[in-house]
Structures are given as structure tokens and as C-alpha cells.
Amino acid sequence: MGCIFRLGCLALLAILALVGWINRDRILGRDADPVAVAPTWERLSPAGAQRTRAALGRLQTRDGPVFVTLTGAEVASYVYLELGRALPSLADSAEAAVFEDRLVVRGTVPLRELGGAGALGPFASMLGDREPIEISGRLRVTSPGRGELSVSEIKVRDFKLPAGLVPRLLKQAGIDQPADGTAQGVIPVRLPAHVGDVRVADGRVTLYKNVQ
């Protein structure tokens, strides 16, 4: 009987230990699920573009890292300068942040830089000369030395533009779209050939070295 009693106590202790382990966060006053980190908006700047260039340089070295991690603003600054722009009016107010797997850039823009209000069709009558614009898209590497920001959404003020209007608006803003129509609504990104992949997550942009 004593042996059976001891075995019963051991079984009870094991069950209590298991229950305690399962409920450890509640017991310790912690949430079981981590609190999501809110996206952080940061200004675009030439300094941010330079930090991206420097990181890409480190990625290229033989003994360098296999990946580099940057902020959305640093990468967006690099993309904007690579388009041949010197961060004029858009950069006066431009900010960028990472939302899940998307890079989002926002700023106040003279509509003439988007081809004028007429480029926005029926929305034009509701807009002024300068309006806040938000561009959201997904980054990817398409081939060695080439990447793109595939634009999934453009908002002018609070108006989400129809998807069919996105390629037209980008073209009128001076961003050439593929002539064959295979990838409309994209912003091309020049990348060094040693960049093999990109991942946008957890509020950051990670560029990976091509190790092949």
C-alpha cells in the first residue's frame, strides 16, 4: 500500500508540474502571445540611401555577412535615388515603414509630378494641387542585378485608386512599365548582382547574398 501511495503521489506531482508548465505565462503574469510591434515611420534621406549602399558593399565582400538588415526608410531612400531623383518635393515629407510583408512609402506630392490631376480620372475633381499619397508594395529580386517593388496599392488622400490605374499613374510619374505587359504596376530597383533574395518582415528589410 505504501508503494502504491508513493506512486500515486508521484503521478499527481507530475500532473501538477505539467499543468504548471502549460500555464506558466499566466502564472508569471505574462501574455502567451507576444505583443505585435507597431510599424515605425522614418523619413527618407540621402543618408539612408548611403547606409543601404554601404550594407550592399559589405554583402559583396568575400568575408562579409550572408545577409544585411535595413529599415524600410533606408531601402526606400535607396530605391528613390536609384530612380534618378535627388529627393525633391516628395522627400520633403516622405516616410517609409514596413507593414507585414509590404514596404509602404507616404508623402505629400504636387499632383503635377503624377501627370497632373487629369491622370487620376474621376478623382481629380476632389483633389487639390498637393495631396498626401501612399504607395504600398512587395519587394522581390527578379534576376541578378534586378529587383522590383510590385505596387499593390496607391492611395491619394483617403482614396484607394483602382488597380487598373496604378500602371498608368506610375508611367505618367516617369517610371517606365514593361512594354510586354508582363509586370505592370512595378517600380524597378537596380541591385548589385550579388544580391540573391530579399525578405520583408518584422518591421525590417533583409537582403541576402547570392551564394551560388
Q: Per-residue DSSP letters for 124-175? A: GGG--SEEEEEEEEEEEEEETTEEEEEEEEEEETTEEPPGGGHHHHHHHTT-
Mean pLDDT of 119-128: 66
Beta strands 95-99; 42-43: pairing state: antiparallel
- Alpha-carbon distance of 152 to 106, in angstroms, equals 14
The alpha carbon of residue 169 and the mean position of all alpha carbons in its chain are separated, in whole angstroms, by 21
Per-residue pLDDT, 159: 83
Question: Which residues contact residue 206 at a Cβ distance below 8 angstroms, ignoring those fewer than 6 apart?
Answer: 67, 68, 69, 70, 198, 199, 200
Q: Are strands 146-156 and 130-143 parallel, antiparallel or unpaired?
A: antiparallel
Q: Stretch 82-109: mean pLDDT, rounded?
A: 77
Rounded to the nearest integer, the mean pLDDT of the chain is 77
Could you tell me if 176 and 72 lie in one domain? yes
* Residue 33 counted as domain residue: no
* Amino acid, res. 96: A
Residue-wise pLDDT tens digits, 156-168: 888 888 888 888 8
Q: Is the pLDDT of residue 169 over 90?
A: no
Residue tagged 508569471 (cell numbers): 28
Please report whether residue 16 resides in a domain.
yes
Pair (162, 60) in one structural domain:
yes
Q: Are residues 121 and 21 in the same domain?
A: no
Q: Once rounded to an integer, what is the mean pLDDT over residues 123-130?
A: 70
**What is the span of the domain harbouring residue 23?**
1-28
What does the pLDDT read at residue 64? 87
Q: How many CA atoms lie within 13 A of 131 on its CB side?
A: 23
How far is it, in rounded angstroms, from Cα 34 to Cα 157?
33
pLDDT the model gives residue 189: 87
One domain, residues 168 and 193? yes
156 and 196, same domain (yes or no): yes
Running DSSP on this structure, what letter comes out for residue 186? E
160 plus 87 within the same structural domain: yes
pLDDT band at residue 29, thresholds of 50, 70 and 90?
very low
Of residues 57 and 130, more confidence is placed in: 57
* 20 pLDDT more than 60: no
Asked if residue 37 is part of any domain, the answer here is no
Report which of residues 170 and 182 the model is more confident about. Answer: 170
Per-residue model confidence (pLDDT) at position 182? 59
Is pLDDT at 83 greater than 90 in this prediction? no
Amino acid of residue 11: A
Asked if pLDDT for residue 93 goes beyond 90, the answer is: no
pLDDT of residue 138: 94
pTM of the model: 0.73
**pLDDT by residue (tens digit) across 188-208?**
888 889 999 999 999 999 999
The total number of structural domains that make up the chain: 2
Q: What is the pLDDT of residue 52?
A: 95
Quote the CA–CA distance of 60 and 66 in Å, as a whole number.
9
Is the model's pLDDT at 31 over the cut of 50? no
- In 3D, which of 44, 46, 170 has the Cα closest to residue 103? 44
The candidate with the shortest Cα–Cα distance to 91, out of 63, 115, 113, 116, is 113
